[in-house]
Structure 1
């Protein structure tokens, strides 16, 4: 029996034959790991880009809103200037307006607001003289950047001045970019931004400044032709801006990002803010363009490292390492199995030895596999923990579903937003449960029309446009568990597995409540501003008519007086002129009263007065207004007590305002004013007429500023539309109330209730006023300081009958010099004069002779003006236009006793 020899295959040959398949697996796994890593990095890039884009959109909207806020401020200043009248604009008005504003809170980032006036070359000297005289310091110098021969665009006012002193007097028309923007604003009647410039008040910040301008026209009628607009424009309201101040506190601009802004209006980018971002983060950036009042800005946002860190991105090599770990493990398994099988095939005669060897090798390999599997399991657990932490810490609601719509993920932000817990939603509900059914039906209808096939109002309305892998965003209304509705912005996308098959959907939602509220508040503010502008425009139109009507009467009467007439005709013309003058004074007084009430400068006096005497005065004034109308005026006083404590002047003004309106709107019938006492120390005044009456709508607007019953009222009866507003304000200041009832075609009844206390008879002051109609001042000297030649002629004519020696000075300096040389007996002093004004002249004259009477003659007759004049030394005052009787009475009061 022969022995059989079994030939064993050499070990190294077996190993070589077993290596090629594991190597192939490793090579394939390597390329798969590279592909997986590339996709992983692309997803990270997309995540950074999405967050960066949202931040840039937030910053862009904030910048647009901030600059638009400045434009709104310019519009407010423009409306105020238009209401005042460009030609009447003075330093005191601008300063008062600026004091009434809180620029740092209302318009953060603006360096100030001012007015630029267009001055033709031939008017330059006169303009400079006028501005110097207008300013308290009498200092104003023209400054130009380059010489030119065109019209000057001069910064006349800017508030606050202290921060902008270098800009006052600057001719912005002497520099091309400033001039181009100003002319463009005038031609298009629009708000314009200049190209980047260096502000003269911040010259250390080159090309970082801007001017924002709005044109101001002298008339409410603006030409339609651009050339005519440029010719007609009177100036511009404007604000100087520095880009870094504008961006202060802008929402979204924080330390974790780098913002750069370029002006690309003319094609060539010009950097105006920011600089180079960190080189290692240059791959991450987001860019957008913003069109802003004639300029195009390109905004580029680059993240800093804190921005990237806040996203908590996984390690860059994580996907590659994971794939290679799996590949290596698989190759080792294949390699080990090949060795085992090959050894078994080659060593059938050595089964026992090979079995032992294979068992030993298998044990070793199993131990190694267990270690690899444990390591892989740990890595998977870490990845799951990372994903869970991302979901839990996200500030936006993250909701994931499977392909059928069942919710599979519901993060804490979603719980806070919608009110449901994750336990109530995950695996149980679809997003339909917290959506408005009406919105889903409407969205399904819109998608059906867009896609040309029927889309049912269910889960499909959320995912129909996601099936091709795109991302869709839409505004929805979520219904919270407590039934409250929350507006949201929902961005949704599909979730794909490694084979590209959709296995679910992901939605990211954020609350729009605050954003929509801000938009609503901004819209309401714009509507209120537009309504105020419309009311003021209507008021200015009415005032133009109301002021021109008596002016026409005065001017016409004076022209006719130039022709020969008999005495009766001349007297009639003079009566018409005087009546027109009184009407004009009444209109101006209404406007001044309203201005004082608005400024809170009206005070109510408390002193004893005679109610009967006051009612007699009301009766006399109303009878003059009544004229020859077929209307009976009845005044009934049912009180037995005559003396009361209160402000008789303001009570009389209230009764005259209401009574005059009653007479105005009553064509025939009667107007009745009654007075009675209530049981609570209050007097009740009732004013009843049988006139046209008012509708319910007219009653709701009766006490509004610049309002009358209807638009035809002003045309038919005239009026400022301020009378009833003033009346209501005065009644409230006196602690009273006013009620009104009216029926169209039947009449109106006003009831005014005022708190009043009876006065004792001993509290009544004696009447000591003596009216002087003629005065002989022979031997006395009167000095009149007045710069207007017409006013000098009028005063001279009024003083002619007093037989006093009258001398004139055309400014305060001449008046002081006259008093030094020849002491007059009385000085009549105008307030606003060139060289030296009346206030300073009075102070110098009083320093020489404190007993010399100095009387202020001024058009500034408001209460605070009069108080200031008396404080600086004036003995009394006369308001313009000067009433002859008041002039004679004042002269009688301060002339020498033997003369008076």
Structure 2
């Protein structure tokens, strides 16, 4: 029969296999039900044909014997092959018994023929037939009824009524089966498509994991070649501008390495390939070392960092490197979100067979509706272009996943304006937990990529350098009272305003642009607007993603002021793509430069906009 179901590879085979399975399952239920009900209808015999009740009981027992044979068949190892013939045999035996009882009660004038209508509807509703097979079975049931009654009572006009109702029942049952068949085929097609889509997603996920494993190697190798020579140069460099540039390069290289590590660890966790290397150690001692490493960073940010009861923790079993990542992520998070003058407390303790530590801060706190979402990958409470702190949104998600890999957990309690407390609980002996969660790479390529990446990681850095990397995203260059002397531009040089929240980049660009222009700087949009109103620059270069007032808002406010409507504004941003460019141009920007950029490109664009502004000024003067 023609079908509108879209053809999928293996669809017909899957449909037939599912039909056989459903037939067996439902045949078991139907045969048990028929065995009970067919005998129970003996009560009807007692009510309407008491004289024939004994004979009818023997007929019912004979039919019940067929049901028993059918049950034995559908519970056997050959159930899928035997279910159809035994169900058909049971249906015909039922019809024969009912027809025989009807013939004994008067033939076509007896209402017992209604039993065969029940048989037709029951087998049609309960079982997943092919329409042609069901039509044949219905025909055999009707022929059995008519044949027995004709043989025992002879032909009469009374046969028309029962025949009409039996034929009608057969037709409607076959139509219902056709509709049910179409529905089952459509549902199976949808399920197969969903299964196929899930398999494709799994393949894409594995491809993504392989990509992360391979690209991490390609990124880590050049980063290693950057950090190694930089450390060598720093060791021999005295104080001065050159050392400042080298420190900035080393700091930002470690920040980049930390993000690469976080992305790779997240990908390995997602694929189930991140394995623990358990060893016995003291969590309190590890906490103390990392807190000590973070104290200078806290001091540079004007934050007090202290520890409590770390020496009270007993020895336990954990993966030292993974636990370092958990601690560093929570310390980094607290340092970033605790304001100047605030305090961070790291405390630890033990409960039965669990060791725990807490990182508490008195920062801004977390909204109640975000307390669980902050552990989602890539989620950030403030995801706008004006958010105050950077990051990928992986730190807290990675910390919780690593804790759960140990058999523990990371939780948080927080109130807006009162700070947050992150609590990490780890079992003292997680050996029985991580083995069950460990999974090996499925493909040979994955195994090779993993081995190559793990080998690269193992020989990257010593413990000191590794911890510098773990806390790199909160590390700032040492405070300086001045940015150092700049080259003196010509006396009549155009005046530029540079607005950039990254101190390293702001200092570097200002020093290079000062050779040709008079440069004023600001660290955020609000400060940039104040400076612009004070010095009236000829051109503004501003970053986009800044705390408070972002670059888009700064641009809109400048362009809304008649005094700056003709002042060119160039946006600097790491947000590539046509949507980001369109948003900048909608804000009124005159140009858009995507990071990373060549300094010569920025200088050329500045010069071009200043020339255009000068030409426009001269034209206005002539008019």
TM-score (structure 2 length as normaliser): 0.38
Whichever structure has more helix as a proportion of its residues is 2
Higher normalized contact order (CA 8 Å, seq sep 6+, divided by chain length): 2
Larger Rg: 1
The two structures have a TM-score, normalised by structure 1, of 0.27
